[in-house]
Amino acid sequence: MRDAIRAELLKARGSWWMLFGLAYAYLMPAMCYSYAPDSVIATDGADSAAATRTLLAFLTAVPVASIFLANWGIAKEYFYRSLPRTALTQRRIDGYVAKCVSGAVQGLVVGVLGTTAWSVSTWIILEQRHQSFDLGAATWQTLVLTVVASVLAGPWGVTLGYLLPNYWTTTAAALIAPFALELPLMLHAPSIGRFLPVSTLAGVVQPPIPGLLPPLAAVAASLLWIAASLLGGWHLFRRRDLT
């Protein structure tokens, strides 16, 4: 098991895709900010704490980057048909657990670098608006919870690849569904949308979006989604013919 985990971490570290994923962890909040309406990003008249909280809300996009990057680790093996070779060199359960652990570690890295990069951007934006970046308890809570949500997002991204063993399908589920499906439901039907996977991760971060689950409930809901996807992914992978 230890060797399998080490191998997966080496794959992730040595892949150029990891660099792209880390860049994406910053670009995702930046793009959401760029396309957000002025009414959403306005901080005129707000104190430093409120202004900082408004801009840090875009950190909810960082866990999506974690899902996407962790998902690529398994999606590319199906795409390049290298999974049968991997499965033959180790026990399936070892490979499965190793990829999920690697996904969580990648989520940690994405979360730390994504929050750091966007925090610097938030500081620059507020300086340009002649406002201050608040480093109070609420800000630190948002940063820490973003990292927590990113770690939780990693295994979810991995199991998506096992549940949907097709490169294009799983990529769409990891990258497009959060914005094309979950975000509209969260905005227009929060009683339903807040229970969906990425929305529960947003609830962990707690941006100023009405209708999200409270933090503890969001963590519990996220863990339930992850547990269900881990069991479902393992059930399908154990029974799937890889030849």
Residue pLDDT, tens place only, 18-47: 676 677 788 888 888 888 787 778 888 778
Q: What phi and psi values does residue 80 have, to the nearest 5 degrees? A: -90, 5
pTM of the full structure: 0.88
Percent over 70 (pLDDT), the chain: 86
pLDDT digits (tens, 9 = 90+) for 197-217: 889 998 898 887 788 898 889
Predicted confidence at residue 120, as pLDDT, reads 93
Per residue in 162-204, pLDDT tens? 888 887 888 888 888 888 888 888 878 888 888 988 899 988 9
pLDDT, tens digit, 9 for 90 and up, residues 212-241: 898 889 999 999 999 999 999 888 888 776
Annotated domain spans of the chain: 2-239
Instruction: Label residue 83 by pLDDT band (50, 70, 90).
Output: low
